Amino acid sequence: MLRRLAVLMDPIQKLKIYKDSTFAMLLEAQRRGIELHCFEQADLGLDHGRAWVRAQRTRVRDDVNAWFEQDPPVREFADAFDCILLRKDPPFDAEYLYDTQILEHAEAAGVLVVNRPQALRDANEKLFTALFPQCCPPTLVARKTDDLRAFATSYGECVIKVLDAMGGASIFRIRPGDPNLNVILETITLEGRRSGLIQQYVPDIVHGDKRILLIDGEPVPYALARIPRDGEFRGNLARGGRGRGQPLSDHDRWICAEVAPELKRRGLIFVGLDVIGTYLTEVNVTSPTCIRELDAQFGLNIAGTLFDRLEAMRA
């Protein structure tokens, strides 16, 4: 049973609650009578080997004008909570790495930490797809621009991106003969000092970049196809994409079946797969979104399914 929940998240006052999946989780936890506490990265530390948080008791409501109330912050050891949700958006930088190391102490003390700290460290959202090459378009990761250029020459139209961004940031579409190719490769790799990931372009992006949510390896039966706006190739909602829900296809379910055992093995409970056409392109593990859009379009309660699973894990 979950009685007290702490959530590591971005500032609650900056949430766009109509589309924020963390907020959906807060609403569901409160509906179940779970005591909510929210904290940010600066409110986490270690004291003689025990993880502590400086969290604020929080009450929420689904009102865009006044969606939260909070008590003053209280510092207490992390093992005073039954569960800690890690919902901080990327980038996964050095400070986030340290947070996962600190929260492993809470996990060792018996706290259910979701997603597992070690799994978050190990599962870079771009690189993790390499475990499932049978599901992915042709892909190369490299620092040297010559390697990336050779891939582009072999595969024609491609997409290239950095490994630690989110929301469609730092993604470029390149075509054969593109006069900007050299500067794009130099920008992505910081002139050979940073890795870039290049993939063959998937034309099915015009029909949407599908976000498929999995809860302990089980897919939600609907995906949100994020369709690029006119003049754009990125479907991300943060870049003006339009979200259209649709049932999972048989191939979508095949991809989920290929990926799910590894997710379960690592303790990745709440995950978002990005699928374009028939290809897996990313595995989102830090703060997957699209709960509220799918709930609204299909009358679902995805956070409810998540908390059913979390409560079963704590039984």
Choose the catalytic residue: 107, 216, 252, 282: 282
- pLDDT reported for residue 215: 98
- pLDDT reported for residue 234: 63
Choose the catalytic residue: 28, 209, 252, 274: 274
Nearest-Å Rg of the Cα atoms of the chain is 20
229 a catalytic residue = no
CA 314 to chain centre: 23
Can you give the three-state secondary structure of 44-95, one letter per residue?
Answer: EEEECCEEEEEEEEEEECCCCCCCEEECCCEEEEHHHCCEEEEECCCCCCHH
Is 70 exceeded by the pLDDT of residue 237?
A: no
Task: Give the percent of the chain with pLDDT over 70.
Answer: 96
Amino acid residing at 271:
V
Is 80 exceeded by the pLDDT of residue 127?
A: yes
- pLDDT reported for residue 16: 96
The sign of the dihedral angle between the CA atoms of 250, 257, 237, 228 is negative
Where does the chain hold its CATH 3.40.50.20 domain(s)? 4-122
Q: Report the alpha-carbon distance of residue 208 to residue 290 in Å, rounded.
A: 14
Averaged confidence pLDDT in the chain: 94
Choose the catalytic residue: 115, 216, 284, 293: 284
Is 60 exceeded by the pLDDT of residue 273?
A: yes
pLDDT tens per residue across span 87-120? 999 888 899 999 999 999 999 999 999 999 999 9
- pLDDT reported for residue 151: 96
- pLDDT reported for residue 167: 66
Give Cβ neighbours of residue 220 (< 8 Å, ≥ 6 apart): 212, 213, 214, 294, 300, 302, 305
Q: Between 177 and 115, where is the model more confident?
A: 115
Contact 258, 237 (CB under 8 A): no
210 a catalytic residue = no
Reading the block at residue 12, the tokens are 């609650």
Is 60 exceeded by the pLDDT of residue 129?
A: yes
List the end-to-end C-alpha distance of the chain, in Å, as a whole number.
5
Q: Report the alpha-carbon distance of residue 127 to residue 125 in Å, rounded.
A: 6
19 a catalytic residue = no
Contact 116, 264 (CB under 8 A): no
- pLDDT reported for residue 193: 95
Give SS3 for 36: strand
- pLDDT reported for residue 166: 65
Choose the catalytic residue: 4, 88, 126, 266: 126
* CATH architecture assigned to 205-308: 2-Layer Sandwich (3.30)
Lowest-pLDDT range of 29-38, 74-83, 202-211, 239-248: 239-248
Task: Give the percent of the chain with pLDDT over 90.
Answer: 88
Residues in the chain: 315
Choose the catalytic residue: 161, 210, 266, 292: 161
Choose the catalytic residue: 4, 88, 210, 226: 226
Task: Tell me how crowded residue 231 is: count the other CB atoms within 10 A of its CB.
Answer: 6
CA 60 to chain centre: 23
274 a catalytic residue = yes
Residue with the two structure tokens 């699928």: 275
Where does the chain hold its CATH 3.30.1490.20 domain(s)? 138-201
- pLDDT reported for residue 221: 98
Choose the catalytic residue: 211, 236, 266, 293: 211
Contact 74, 63 (CB under 8 A): no
Q: Report the alpha-carbon distance of residue 125 to residue 188 in Å, rounded.
A: 17
Is 80 exceeded by the pLDDT of residue 297?
A: yes
Average pLDDT over residues 4-11: 98
* Topology of domain 4-122, CATH: Rossmann fold (3.40.50)
Q: What is the pTM of this model?
A: 0.93
Choose the catalytic residue: 116, 210, 234, 266: 234
* Topology of domain 138-201, CATH: Dna Ligase; domain 1 (3.30.1490)
- pLDDT reported for residue 168: 63
pLDDT tens per residue across span 198-233? 999 999 999 999 999 999 999 999 999 998 876 566
Is 90 exceeded by the pLDDT of residue 177?
A: no
Is 90 exceeded by the pLDDT of residue 143?
A: yes
Contact 157, 204 (CB under 8 A): no
- pLDDT reported for residue 82: 98
194 a catalytic residue = no
126 a catalytic residue = yes
pLDDT tens per residue across span 257-272? 999 999 999 999 999 9
pLDDT grade for 25, boundaries at 50, 70 and 90: very high
